Amino acid sequence: MRPHNAPRQVDVDSHQKRDQPNTDITAQDYLFGRKATVWVFALLCLLMVFDFADRMIIASLLPYIQRDWAINDAQAGFLSSILTIGMVLFAFPVSIVIDRWRRIKTASLMGIFWGIASAAGAITQSFSQLAATRLLVGAGEAAYAPASYAWISAAFPHRRLQLALGLFSASQPIGMAIGIALGGLIAQHFGWRYALGVMAIPGIVIALLLYKGRDYRTILPIPLPAQVFAGKALDSASSAMVQQLTHRQVIRQNWHSIRQTPSLLLTYLAAAMATLQWVPIVFFLPSYLHRVHQIELATASLLTSSILLIGIVTLPLGGWVMDRLTQKYPSSKLYIAAAGYALATLLYVLAFSLVSGLWLQFALIIVAGALLTFL
């Protein structure tokens, strides 16, 4: 996230610069003007919707896959988590590639890649083949979020940044809800293979539209060797070394900054623990409702998706509230986040340990999810 008064280290591509200056006062501090920024932002949000739809669809399909292939709960859990493993393995290397190349084109190509990988799951013939396709989906999605967040942080003015990030993050629960609800309905009527194939198509189409979106070029500090100051031209080997060292220096500097910021490290840890809470709940809630409360699978998927829809309100609302609150109390977000995570944990414990009634349990899960998405 860009500091409040920090200059933007970006440069709009020369072929994308406008011939005339932007005379719209309300849009002057948007990197590409308000209209162009909102257009690309809308495509990023839509692609994020189907990112999470393709990611979470497996939650509603697990009971059908278990029935067809006779896999146990441990294998079902692995099938749910293998996508995350792919994201973890590829997130850091692709983030480096993003900094050295194009954010929008990277997001577009990775959207096409994970869409094809997700659709390929429809023609798999074994558990291992399906797991491999889910791993590839995770690899593709690993590049999308870093590229999108970097672009949004640079393209929007500071006064709109938290709201933009909140709206973008709100695409996540929408996508989860769509993936689980439609996945369950399609699987019930046509089979789980059709669900994987059909849900992959919109993401591929949106990714193709995004490819021509406006982007910026990162300006990196390049240490100039002695030849430059002596008025001598650099050969190709020296130029390559300069570029390579520049990126290494930037990576080392960023890594050093992260290690020297305890609040950031604790935030990463808290986010990981929060994810450890809600991801298993979302993935296995349809199966849980079906087994424990004897609810039909399609209905269980719809109930699970309804829990996720609360994030449509809480995510942008949280961004809007934090925008205003941190203007007066800069440290307040840390205390609010800590209190919210603690309360959400308590509610989850109550829901699954001490409460047996369906609707009270359901209400506790909704409130806990609302807290996590608001923060």
Query: Is 18 a domain residue?
Result: no
Query: Is 14 a domain residue?
Result: no
- Judge whether 73 and 280 are in contact, CB under 8 Å: no
**Residue 207: which residues within 8 A CB-CB, separation 6 or more?**
47, 107, 108, 109, 110, 111, 112, 115
Angle between helices 332-349 and 311-328 (to 10 degrees): 150
pLDDT of residue 247: 59
Three-class SS state of 21: coil
pLDDT of residue 204: 94
Q: How many helices (H) and strands (E) does the chain have?
A: 13, 2
Q: What percent of the chain has pLDDT over 90?
A: 19
pLDDT of residue 4: 40
Query: Is 354 a domain residue?
Result: yes
Q: CA torsion sign, 253 to 259 to 261 to 265?
A: positive
- As a whole number, the mean pLDDT across the chain is 79
At position 243, the amino acid (one-letter code) is Q
- Judge whether 185 and 286 are in contact, CB under 8 Å: no
pLDDT of residue 249: 67
Q: Taking residues 224-233, what's their average pLDDT?
A: 46
**Higher-scoring residue by pLDDT: 155, 311:** 155
CA of 58: how far to CAs of 4, 48, 161, 190, 215, in Å?
A: 40, 17, 32, 15, 33
pLDDT in tens, 54-65: 888 998 898 899
Alpha-carbon span 316 to 370, nearest angstrom: 12
Query: Is 59 a domain residue?
Result: yes
Q: In this predicted structure, which of 122-126, 175-179, 269-273 has the lowest mean pLDDT? A: 269-273
The count of domains in the chain is 1
Q: Taking residues 74-89, what's their average pLDDT?
A: 87
**Residue 353: which residues within 8 A CB-CB, separation 6 or more?**
none
Residue 237 clears pLDDT 80, i.e. is over it: no
Query: Is 181 a domain residue?
Result: yes
Alpha-carbon span 375 to 338, nearest angstrom: 9
Place of tokens 């849900």: 199
Query: Is 248 a domain residue?
Result: no
pLDDT of residue 355: 84
Query: Is 357 a domain residue?
Result: yes
pLDDT of residue 69: 93
Q: In this predicted structure, which of 16-25, 79-88, 175-184, 288-297 has the lowest mean pLDDT? A: 16-25
pLDDT of residue 99: 66
**Higher-scoring residue by pLDDT: 375, 104:** 104
- Judge whether 111 and 203 are in contact, CB under 8 Å: yes
Q: Taking residues 340-353, what's their average pLDDT?
A: 88
Local confidence band at 235 (pLDDT 50, 70, 90 cut-offs): low
Q: Which residues of 211-239 are buried (b: 16+ CB within 10 A; e: fewer)?
A: eebbbbebeeeeeeeeeeeeeeeeeeeee
In this structure, how many other beta carbons lie within 10 angstroms of the beta carbon of residue 364? 20
pLDDT of residue 220: 52
Query: Is 4 a domain residue?
Result: no
pLDDT of residue 316: 76
- Judge whether 150 and 103 are in contact, CB under 8 Å: yes
Helix (H) / strand (E) containing 299: helix 297-308
Local confidence band at 6 (pLDDT 50, 70, 90 cut-offs): very low
Domain span holding position 146: 27-219+261-374
CATH number at residue 368: 1.20.1250.20
Local confidence band at 191 (pLDDT 50, 70, 90 cut-offs): very high
pLDDT of residue 229: 40
pLDDT of residue 327: 76
pLDDT of residue 112: 93
Q: Taking residues 9-38, what's their average pLDDT?
A: 55
pLDDT of residue 250: 64
Residue 219 clears pLDDT 80, i.e. is over it: no
pLDDT of residue 135: 93
Alpha-carbon span 148 to 104, nearest angstrom: 7
pLDDT in tens, 148-167: 888 888 888 887 887 888 78
pLDDT of residue 196: 93
pLDDT of residue 7: 41
